[in-house]
Amino acid sequence: MIALAVGAALLLAFANGANDNFKGVATLYGSRTTSYRTALFWGTLTTFLGSLFALLLATELLKRFSGKGLVADELLALPSFGASLALGSALTVLAASRLGFPVSSTHAIVGSMIGTAIAHRGSVGWEQLAVQLLAPLLLSPVIALIATAVIYPVLRRVRLASGVTSETCLCAGSEIVEVVPMCDSAVAMQRAELLTMKLDTVVACRQRYAGSIVGIDARKTLDALHFLTAGLVGFARGMNDTPKIAALLIATSGVGGTWSVPVIAVAMAVGGLAGARKVADSMSHRITMMNAGQGFTGNAVTAFLVTCASRWGMPVSTTHVSCGSLFGIGLASRQAHWKFIGTILAAWFITAPVAGCLGFIVGCLVSN
C-alpha cells in the first residue's frame, strides 16, 4: 500500500507538470515572443528550480497540506488514505490535461481529500478547510484579473508618453516577411492572408514595439523582461505547488523526508515535457490575443501574487492566478474569447467535485 501511495503521488506530480508547467510561459508563446519549444524548456527549468527552493521558502505549505486539522488524524497514518487522495487528484488533472483545460491541482487535491476522507469514514474539518484553503483559492483569480486590467492601461500610457510606438510584423515562422505600422487587426489579418496565398506558406501577424527609452532599445528590453517574468512565474509555481504534492508523501506512514521534494520536482518536469501541448495551446491562443507588453504585465502580476502567497503559506492556485491575469488582459484589450473563458470557469467549478468522486471511489476500493 505504501508503494501504491508513492506511485500515486508521483503520478500526481507528473499530471501537475503536464497541466501547469507551461502556464508561466504561455504569454511568451501566445505573443509570438518565442517558439513553443523554447518556452517549454524555460518553463520547465524555472519550475524545477522553484521546486528545489520549496523546502527553504515555502515550508508553511508543507504543514498546511499535511492534512492535519483538515481530516481526522488517524486517517493520516493510513497509507490507503494517501494513495486514494493522490490517485483521485492525479486522474482528474490528467483528464483535464488531455482535454486541454487548465485546471487547479490544488482544487483537485482538496476535492480528493474530502472524498477520500468520506470513503474512510473519517471527519472533515470544514471550517478550517474553508479558511485555510478555499478562501485564497477563490479570491486569487479575482485579484489577478483586477490587478492586470488596471495596471496594463497605465503601463500602456507610460509607453506612449515615452515615445515608444508599435508596429505589426507579418512573419513566416521566425522569418519577418513584412513590417507595417500598427493598424487595425482585421486589416493586418487580411494582408497576412494575401501573403500566405502569394508565398504559399503560413504568414501570421505579430505586434512588436519600436523605439527606445534613454537610448535603450524598447523591444529587446521588453522581450528580456518578458522572459524574466515568465521565469519568475515558473519559479513561483514550483515553489508553491511542489510542497502540496510532497506533503502527500510526508503525511503517508513510513514515507517522507527531504528527498521527497526533488523527486516530486523531477516528476513534474517530466510531466511538463511530455504532456503540456494541449494546455499550452489553450492558454496561449484560446483565452485572448496578446502582445508582448500585455504578456509581460500578466506575468508580472502572476509572479508577484504567487510568490507572496508561497512566502506567507497561502495555497493559491497558480492556474487561477495566471488565467485570472490573462482574463484581465482580454478585458483591458477587449480581445477576450469569453466563450472559451466560460468553458474554463466551468472546468474549474467541477474540478473539486470530480476529484472528490474519484477519491471516494478509489478510497472505497483500497480501504476494503
Of 201, 149, 139, 216, give the one whose Cα is nearest residue 170.
201
Q: Which amino acid is at 6?
A: V
- 264, part of any domain: yes
d(CA 234, CA 43): 6
d(CA 363, CA 303): 36
d(CA 6, CA 343): 33
- 35, part of any domain: yes
Chain-wide mean pLDDT for the chain? 82
Q: Give the model confidence (pLDDT) of 124-147 as tens digits.
A: 666 666 655 566 667 888 899 999
User: 338-344 long-range CB contacts below 8 Å, 24 or more apart?
Assistant: 340/282, 340/286, 340/287, 341/287, 343/101, 344/101, 344/102, 344/282, 344/287
Same domain, 76 and 200: no
Same domain, 266 and 359: yes
| φ and ψ of 124, to 5 deg | -120, 130
Q: Which amino acid is at 73?
A: D
d(CA 343, CA 329): 18
Q: Give the model confidence (pLDDT) of 314-341 as tens digits.
A: 667 788 889 999 999 999 988 889 999 9
Does residue 69 surpass a pLDDT of 60? no
Same domain, 245 and 358: yes
Same domain, 205 and 246: no
Same domain, 185 and 255: no
* Whole-number pLDDT of residue 219: 80
- 360, part of any domain: yes
- 9, part of any domain: yes
Same domain, 176 and 261: no
| Residues in contact with 35: Cβ distance below 8 Å, sequence separation at least 6, in sequence order | 29, 174
* Predicted TM-score of the model (pTM): 0.81
Q: Is 126 exposed, middle or buried (0-12, 13-18, 19+ CB in 10 A)?
A: exposed
Same domain, 27 and 75: yes
- 320, part of any domain: no
Q: How many domains does the chain have?
A: 2
Range of the domain at 192: 165-210
Same domain, 88 and 130: yes
Same domain, 108 and 256: yes
* Whole-number pLDDT of residue 8: 86
d(CA 282, CA 323): 11
Q: How confident is the model at residue 273 (pLDDT cuts 50, 70, 90)?
A: very high
* Whole-number pLDDT of residue 242: 84
94-103, 159-168, 208-217, 279-288: least confident range: 208-217
- 352, part of any domain: yes
85-93 average pLDDT score: 92
* Whole-number pLDDT of residue 253: 45
The Cα angle at residue 344 between residues 360 and 227, in degrees rounded to 5: 115
- 230, part of any domain: no
| Of residues 313 and 355, more confidently modeled | 355
The Cα angle at residue 71 between residues 271 and 130, in degrees rounded to 5: 80
- 231, part of any domain: no
Same domain, 127 and 180: no
Q: How far is CA 223 from CA 6, 42, 226, 231, 324, in A?
A: 41, 14, 5, 12, 22
| Residues in contact with 255: Cβ distance below 8 Å, sequence separation at least 6, in sequence order | 2, 5, 6, 79, 82, 249
Same domain, 48 and 176: no
Same domain, 177 and 276: no
Of 104, 86, 108, 57, give the one whose Cα is nearest residue 239.
57
| Residues in contact with 108: Cβ distance below 8 Å, sequence separation at least 6, in sequence order | 88, 89, 92, 93, 351, 352, 354, 355
